[in-house]
Amino acid sequence: MKLHRHRIRLDGRDYTAVTPRPGTDVRFATDRMHGMWHLVTDPRGAVFLARLLWGLSYQRRPGTLVFLGPGFLLPAPFGAEPSDPVVLAPVPATALTAAAARGLRRRDPSGPGDGTVRWHTPGLEPYAVRRRERSGFDGPQEDRLYRRPLDFGVRRTGGVLVFAASPEIMRMWAANALSCSGEHRVLSYAYLTGWGWPLNRGPEPGELLVLPDFRRRARRAALAREELLAGPEAPDTPALLRDAVWARVAEDLD
């Protein structure tokens, strides 16, 4: 697939931000529930994410990252909170400081930028099949890959949600994302975290949520939030507002 490349200097370092081309039909949302960060999309977005992760896992140029900016984001489909821009970063090739993240969000690279990237993902599908045949885990080998804190992590910094992982783990995440893109009638999910979680102590976990009707739910949640806030008895705390939005969306769509 074709993506765009942007050369940017952030916090005294040179970065290459890879972005979807304008008009690419993918949308995502971010959300925090149950003590972890969530990346939410539909099956089309799951396939796109899998290809982004797989290609990025083979990137060796320091400072290269993938940026999903506001043009590809929808409100969270649960409480309609605004979504944060998303960064995918290979470890240890790309380190993103809080200042760099703030600068990236402010710059919001989009459009043609400095040229087109042909993003190749050979081997993704066979690898995903092999993982499914092994029930998705490599046992002790996968445990080893997740042992060091710098091998993976999900964090919000500078107003950006960063999903960072070593090449091996990023390929596992890619296969997991691809496995969620099938014909599911309801929610499918994949953990973006380490082997043995939640027993292990390590970086903050993440999760990919794939909803077949993600876009419809996100737009209905945004409308429900607007209706509730305009009403005479608007919920007076974020938690109550979120619950009310979710209840209204569930009532309308389920």
Q: Residue 100 falls within a domain, yes or no?
A: yes
Structural domain of 184: 2-213
Is 116 among the domain residues?
yes
Choice among 23-32, 80-89, 139-148, 185-194 with the minimum mean pLDDT: 139-148
Q: Phi, psi (5° rounding) for residue 86?
A: -115, 135
30 phi, psi to nearest 5 deg: -120, 150
On whether residue 241 sits in a domain, the answer given is: no
- Does residue 69 fall inside a structural domain? yes
- Classify residue 225: in a domain, yes or no: no
Report if residue 114 sits inside a domain.
yes
The CA distance from 230 to 233, in Å, is 9
The pLDDT confidence band at residue 130, using thresholds 50, 70 and 90, is confident
Structurally, how many domains does the chain consist of? 1
User: Which pLDDT score, from 0 to 100, does residue 114 have?
Assistant: 94
Q: How far is CA 23 from CA 71, 130, 181, in A?
A: 9, 33, 21
User: Average pLDDT, stretch 195-215?
Assistant: 73
Q: What is the pLDDT of residue 181?
A: 84
Query: Using CA atoms, how far apart are residues 165 and 65, in angstroms rounded to an integer?
Result: 11
pTM to 2 decimal places:
0.90
The answer to which of 5-14, 31-40, 145-154 has the lowest mean pLDDT is 145-154
Is there a domain that residue 52 lies in? Answer: yes
Q: Tell me the mean pLDDT in the region 199-210.
A: 73
In a domain, 124, yes or no: yes
